[in-house]
């Protein structure tokens, strides 16, 4: 079977869905390669900063790696801006959605809200509320999100910083995204 015969999902057979599930499993094995390609795409995102978004992400991940953060945090930092190109108004949520099956609830929450926490450093210069993060002050991960932005985001725009290359992180990416770690993301609301 090269293609299913149904035109409406309700008309599919168990055999056809087994066939599709096999193809989906094969496709999912290529996820790390697609994610790496998306990271490479950050090299040509919007300009104006002294470095590319890819270099920004590599700086943050390198700093986290040197600080002894665990792999989950390093990966979260590496991918925290992956949504910039396709979701410029909700990039944090897009990045969090990509990471969700692979990271803890804490890391998912931090990445999902990092855009608001990052505003602390610049919003007051453009008429925004730099203290918008206080909406989340009761979260158990409030301080963790502050640390994430302070140590691995807002300070990672330095053209003289020597980051690890993307190739350094590729084996980590391949291992980390080889299979979901958390099977029930719907409980992470």
The per-residue pLDDT for 186 is 53
The CA distance from 96 to 108, in Å, is 5
Confidence of residue 93 (pLDDT cuts 50, 70, 90): very high
Which of these CATH numbers, 2.30.30.90, 1.10.3210.10, 3.40.190.10, 3.40.50.620, describes 12-188?
1.10.3210.10
The domain ranges of the chain are 12-188
The CA distance from 96 to 76, in Å, is 8
**pTM confidence score:** 0.91
Q: Give residue-wise pLDDT tens across range 47-85.
A: 799 999 999 999 999 999 999 999 999 999 999 999 998
The CA distance from 62 to 136, in Å, is 28
Q: For residue 107, what is the enclosing H or E element?
A: helix 105-118
- Mean per-residue pLDDT of the chain: 94
Q: Give residue-wise pLDDT tens across range 124-148.
A: 999 999 999 999 999 999 999 999 9
Q: Rounded to whole angstroms, what are the CA distances from 187 to 23, 95, 97, 110, 179?
A: 27, 18, 13, 16, 18
């Amino acid at each position: 079977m090269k293609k299913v015969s149904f035109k409406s999902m309700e008309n599919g057979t168990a055999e056809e869905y087994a066939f599709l599930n096999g193809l989906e499993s094969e496709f999912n094995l290529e996820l790390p390669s697609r994610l790496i390609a998306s990271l490479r795409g950050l090299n040509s995102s919007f300009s104006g900063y002294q470095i590319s978004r890819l270099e920004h992400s590599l700086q943050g991940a390198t700093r986290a790696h040197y600080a002894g953060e665990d792999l989950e945090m390093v990966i979260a930092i590496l991918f925290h801006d992956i949504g910039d190109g396709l979701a410029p108004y909700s990039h944090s949520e897009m990045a969090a959605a990509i990471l969700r099956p692979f990271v803890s609830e804490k890391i998912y929450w931090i990445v999902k809200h990092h855009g608001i926490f990052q505003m602390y450093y610049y919003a007051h210069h453009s008429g925004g509320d730099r203290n918008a993060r206080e909406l989340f002050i009761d979260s158990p991960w409030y301080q963790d999100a502050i640390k994430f932005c302070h140590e691995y985001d807002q300070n990672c725009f330095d053209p003289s910083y020597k980051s690890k290359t993307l190739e350094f992180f590729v084996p980590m990416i391949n291992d980390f995204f080889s299979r979901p770690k958390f099977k029930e993301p719907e409980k992470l609301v």
